[in-house]
Structure 1
Amino acid sequence: MDGLEPDGEGLRRAGILAVRQFRERIGVPALVDVHTHFMPDRVLDKVWAHFDSAGPLVGREWPITYRHDEAERLALLRAFGVRAFTSMVYPHKPGMARWLNGWAAGFADRTPGCLRTATLFPEEGVEAYVREAVEGGAQVFKAHVQVGAYDPNDPLLRPAWGLLAEAGIPVVTHCGSGPVPGKHTGPGPVARLLAAHPRLRLVVAHLGMPEYGDFLDLAERYGEVRLDTTMACTDFSERFAPFPVTARARLADLGDRILLGTDFPNLPYPYAHQLEALERLGLGDDWLRAVCHGNGVRLFGLGPSLPDDGGARP
């Protein structure tokens, strides 16, 4: 299943129309998506192969809805009206991060709308290449605690976290235990990290799924902590990690620090479904406009958005 079969063009147009209608309903000219994945082809192929085999791991099939070449994926984001997005890269072993950072920098240079993205791993030299990325204009980092299987409090990372906190660069971090727990996932390691670096602009991916309440606690405690919506509240995720109805008011109260994230292209449903899942929370159009556009604009210092500017360079 690849999302555009069997009637590829018809489904493509329907998906674009659904996103446009959502934007028109809530009154935003464009979207800012802080959690999208663009990687070197050979790395992305391995990621897709992992998802293809993830059924036994998560207990359900995980079809890649947008399994297309890079040009088509970029065209789709622009057609959806996404004005700014990320190239979330992440290493699973030492020696990968600096190479991935070089690729991501080149990708951002040649790709209008892509925020300059970088990553890190607990290894010798991490402070040096994180500094290089920051000085090179990195706008966002990705830390994948689950895939990397590392403790974010590893002593090797301390100087890098301090540097990122001082620079005020957001770090989108998969630290929750969904869809399956990792050795260092969960709120405990992140709580210790934030106690050491309280000014770190940590963006908790997936609203901290499934430990939603614990990560909301951390966002309420630390003013620079944010959460992204990636996969949260969708039909797919609600089956195994439902977002508590009683926590919706807390999402509303943190409305200036919730950011749209989707996991494009790796999401197992159409892009519009993530948006509709947020809409059905019933938190109002002002909240949706902030989450889907305004909060990202402020966080990354983007300029004004023109109507239907989808591919405008941030």
Structure 2
Amino acid sequence: MQKPFSKRNKPTSTVSAGSEPPVSKTQQDISSQNNQDVVILDVPAVEVPELTEQEIRDRLLLERKVERAFFEAGKALSELRDRRLYRSTHRTFEEYCRDRFGHSRQKSNYLIAAADVYENLTTICCQNSGIDDLTTNSSQILPTSEGQVRPMTKLEPQEQWKVWQTAVEVAGGKVPSGRVVKDVIEQIMERTKVPNTYQIGEICQILAKDNPELRGKSGCWGIVSQVNDFSCTVRIWDGEYTVGLQHLKSFNYLPAQCEQMRVICDRISRLRENENLEEAVRAMLEYLGELKRPYLTVVEEKLLTLLESEYERIP
């Protein structure tokens, strides 16, 4: 006879009442991670000593040297060019710059012009501030690269100073970028815009005044080859230059006289293409480039014709 079915009792935990339930290994690991003691590191403060007066002077001096790097390069290139110190190894300054420094003559010209601007700014700054040495004065914001002053190379020194001070203000008292400087110049030009009435082919005289880029060109005549908003590109006896309107004065020659001067300019240009020109010949061409009349005298015509026939035989 079968025994009646009985209900099986569920297994009971061996944990007595009031004790904690068992914890799995995973829960133990998580609990262990969450309950780790926080380690506080006591790092002693390192006191940074203040700069001494001598160290402050040294820092300013070194900073000025960094800022003047492009200026020193421009002045050195200017002397190399003007004294023709490249002539023992290269025929032209352009070839010398390309081989020796790896950049074009245009880049050298940019550095030379920028050095002149930097020199103008520091000169005017010293005059306005009553100091002799900017290397010990930290309050003066000066350019640190050629690109920052390139837009100012066509301006007069006093105009350069005003533009730079305005650009520093726009930049919040810091060294302004070339873009900021250019924007300031455009704003000033827009307020004082003077219509350009020159025409292509017109003969003008160059008035160098205080423009460092036009040193040695004062009094030279040139032919307008391009008319810009605030300047003209002119051909003179030794090449082409972009000249501001304030540095040009028209000779008001008649069309026939302008054509005569164009012919003279072409003849001079062909002669200058010869790399074997002697110094006396260069001086003669420079003299012809400063004529204050639209024609050559009989003697000047004979001399120019003689030079042309002489150097046509020289390859």
Between the two structures, name the one with larger relative contact order (CA 8 Å, sep ≥ 6): 1
Fold match (TM-score > 0.5): no
Look at both structures and tell me which one has the larger radius of gyration over its CA atoms.
2
- For normalisation by structure 1, the TM-score amounts to 0.25
- For normalisation by structure 2, the TM-score amounts to 0.25
